[in-house]
Amino acid sequence: MPVLWLSDVDKNDIPVVGGKAANLGELMRIEIPVPDGFVVDARTFRDFISRTGLKDRIYSSLKGLDVENTEELNRVSEEIRRMISEAKIPEEIEAEIRRAYRELGDGKDVFVAIRSSATAEDLPSASFAGQQDTYLNVKGEDNVVEKVKACWGSLFTPRAIYYRVQKGFRHEDVSIAVVVQKMVNSEKSGVMFTSHPVTGEKKCIIEAVFGLGEAIVGGLVTPDTYVYDRVKRTLEDVKIADKKFMIVRKNGNEKVELGEKGKERVLSDDEIKRLVDLGELIEEHYGKPQDVEWAIESGEVYIVQSRPITTIKGAMEKEEVAETGKILLKGLGASPGVATGAVKIVSSERDIGKVREGDILVAVMTTPDMVPAMKRASAIVTDEGGMTCHAAIVSRELGVPAVVGTKNATKVLKDGTFVTVDGEKGIVYLGKLEIAKKEETKFGIAPIITATEVKVNISLPDAAEKVARETNADGVGLFRIEHMILSLEKHPMKFIRDGEIERYVDLIYNEMKKVVKAFYPKTVWIRTIDAPTDEFRAMEGGEEEPIEANPMLGFRGIRRDLAEEMHFRAEMRAIKKLIDEGYKNIGIMLPLIVVPEEIRKAKKIAEEEGIPLDKIEFGIMVETPAAALIIEDLIKEGIDFISLGTNDLTQYTLAVDRNNENVAYLYDEMHPAVMKLIERTIKICKEHGVKTSICGQAGSYPEVVEKLVELGIDSVSANPDMVHKIREVVARVERRIILEKLRNLK
């Protein structure tokens, strides 16, 4: 059977229909109203390539292909996809797909979504994440057949081929299933958490907009929010937002202004009740709280997608090493969690292929080129680095345990040795030790609303959506754009020298958009580039970076960006494009300010590039003693906020290079000199109505945050893994302050 109806499949069919189709089939079995559809299963693809004679041609062209040779990889990929698109599908297979489509629409041409999902029959649990193609709004038999073929071709994109080789899968073992599902033409749609995503309380949280769900998923419209208490069986809270527009389907998706209607409540009490009932059924079926996408068409509620909520676990559980073992290495615990696996030593980007899912990546220091391997690794261990090095920042964002600054991991550890890494305590043990999970907040519910905002630091745009969902942070207090720029194909100034500034603007605009979209409508403070010469020299075109004795005191931060003015203009143009698209949730933050002129010049250029400084926030980092000591003069230039960069502030105040292990014992963010500068800055900013925040590593230290909340800081920005914890600390201090005030009144 080339085609299976979704209602006929379940989780046992994952190897041939893929996880997505199986999940939808499971929901249908428990009578959840899921839009109807069918799946062209993985066996059909195999049948197609055998009977058209493509099989041998495809696999022989892949044999011996050097995937590191990008040109060759692209050529072979293109050739295979051309063969697939030109081949004629055997008649009865094509007839079957056409028949299923006609049946789906009761003879009418309906809009369908077509999605592919790679599968491996012998490896049902293998993940081929990111290798799915999706086509929305497809209509008509011919188009459906064409898109099914395009999905088949997606099994051979350069990325998919490269990925299989990297992970050691044989191309022949992997096939592809294609789901064709009716699209709901919704008059209302949204998302629902069946339980509270942070505290785990039995409260359904529903967000709703008019029209198609794209508006909410893309973060373009602020939705209504409804909170339903599943224990008391009452609607606890309703927040009606002004929904400026909705998205409707005509030939493609179109935006329609809503005017006064946008201010109306989207869901009736009955609709909320129906959604809650369905949500409870799904949660019960999977045994876990779910994050559900839903839609309503002609009064009927449909469930479009359901997946488990992962945040609750993060907030409630902590991993620990359960036994004592032989300690091989000690370093700094830079990203929490415990993992065991085989050591893979990575000396350069060329080695990243040897890191398989679950291995322990060991390197002198990680680089942006290693990020794909860091994602596969179960833990990361480095020789060098402190809490703010590349490995530390990226692993926290990926949620991978990490130990940095071990000095000699690459010498002590050997390829293939099994080790257990404790990313909290900073210890690497020999062998596979047992890991225990400990419930952290068994008896309490984590407080979620604080007057002091708790934000998050971001540096990997691809991780932004997950971080936004899992931390529920109040915005991004620092978006470090250096890491994303370091992973571009060449040095930023080389783009400019090559006359490709517009291309560069587009590249950084695309990456920035991932973050402002993931957090919309919460504000993202985008920090303009802080590019130390030593880190940028390794990039293609980086040969022209000056060689400096002290890069930390050298050509970096705003001083560099104003000297390389075209670069600063490029950043402003990328930000302007986002603002023009309606993303007003942006702030611009300048790094390493030491004199007022830097702010003046930067503002002038921003204005020349059309940035509406009256509509978005403009601020600076206070990360030099100079900035802290002349803060009054800096405020006079007109700034909306400051953020304390304690990583640099500490190194410059104490004369301790933050990357130098020999003096690391002196590095202390709570040194009285640093604290005095911080106190002074907050006090004076408060007097002038300038918002204050912190985004250095100290913003993730409870003892520092306690002090800052007492000083009246407006927000703190923590690392992704610390947001929940810091929120608890902030809430406790705020309550204590209120209590003390009340007691004093008596």
Residues at the contact surface with ligand PEP, assessed by CB under 6 A: 388, 478, 480, 530, 623, 645-648, 695-696
Q: How far is the CB of 718 from Mg ion (least distance, A)?
A: 16
Q: Residue 497 is encoded by which pair of tokens?
A: 């020298």
Smallest distance, Å, CB 457 to Mg ion? 11
Q: How many CB atoms lie within 10 A of CB 232?
A: 10
Catalytic residue, candidates 389, 483, 695, 724: 695
Q: Which is nearer to ligand PEP, 113 or 332 (CB)?
A: 332
Q: Where do contacts with Mg ion occur on this chain (CB under 5 A)?
A: 623, 645, 648
What DSSP assignment string belongs to 612-625?
A: -TTTSEEEEEE-SH
Residue corresponding to tokens 């996809």: 81
Q: How far is the CB of 591 from Mg ion (least distance, A)?
A: 6
d(CA 449, CA 14): 41
- Which partner from the list ligand PEP, Mg ion, none does 478 bind, CB cut-off 5 to 8 Å by kind? ligand PEP
Among 390, 483, 567, 724, the one annotated catalytic = 390
C-beta separation of 381 from 408 below 8 A: no
- Please identify, using beta-carbon distances, which residue of 16 and 674 lies nearer to ligand PEP: 674
CB of 704 to Mg ion, least distance (A): 16
**Tokens 């606890």 belong to residue:** 236
* 390 assigned to active site: yes
CB nearer ligand PEP, residue 138 or residue 389: 389
Q: DSSP readout, 361-411?
A: EEESS--GGGHHHHHH-SEEEESS--TTSHHHHHHHHHT--EEE--S-HHH
Q: Could you tell which of ligand PEP, Mg ion, none binds residue 492, using a CB distance below 5 to 8 A set by kind?
A: none
- Comparing CB distances to ligand PEP, the nearer of 396 and 480 is 480
d(CA 268, CA 264): 11
Return the residue matching tokens 């994303």: 484
Going through 474-593 in order, the beta strands assigned E by DSSP cover 476-480, 524-527, 586-590
> Using CA atoms, how far apart are residues 393 and 463, in angstroms rounded to an integer?
12
Residue 480 interacts with, from Mg ion, ligand PEP, none (CB under 5-8 Å by kind) = ligand PEP
The residue whose two tokens read 């302007």 is 576
For strands 453-458 and 476-480, give the pairing: parallel
Collapsing DSSP states into helix, strand and coil, what is residue 657? coil
131/388 with CB nearer ligand PEP: 388
Q: Which does 367 bind (CB under 5 to 8 A by kind): ligand PEP, Mg ion, none?
A: none
The three-class DSSP label of residue 97 is: helix
Question: Across-strand partners of 363?
Answer: 382
Minimum CB distance to ligand PEP smaller for 116 or for 646: 646
> Is 695 among the catalytic positions?
yes
Q: How far is the CB of 530 from ligand PEP (least distance, A)?
A: 6
Q: Quick count: other Cβ atoms within 10 Å of Cβ 494?
A: 18
Q: How far is the CB of 728 from ligand PEP (least distance, A)?
A: 22
Q: Shortest Cβ distance from residue 532 to ligand PEP (Å)? A: 9
Per-position DSSP letters for 293-356, written without gaps between them: EEEEETTEEEEEEEEE--HHHHHHEEEEE-S---EEEE-EEEE--EEEEEEEE--SGGGGGG--
**3-class SS of residue 565:** helix
Which residue's CB is nearer to Mg ion, number 118 or number 476?
476
* Active centre residues (catalytic): 390, 695
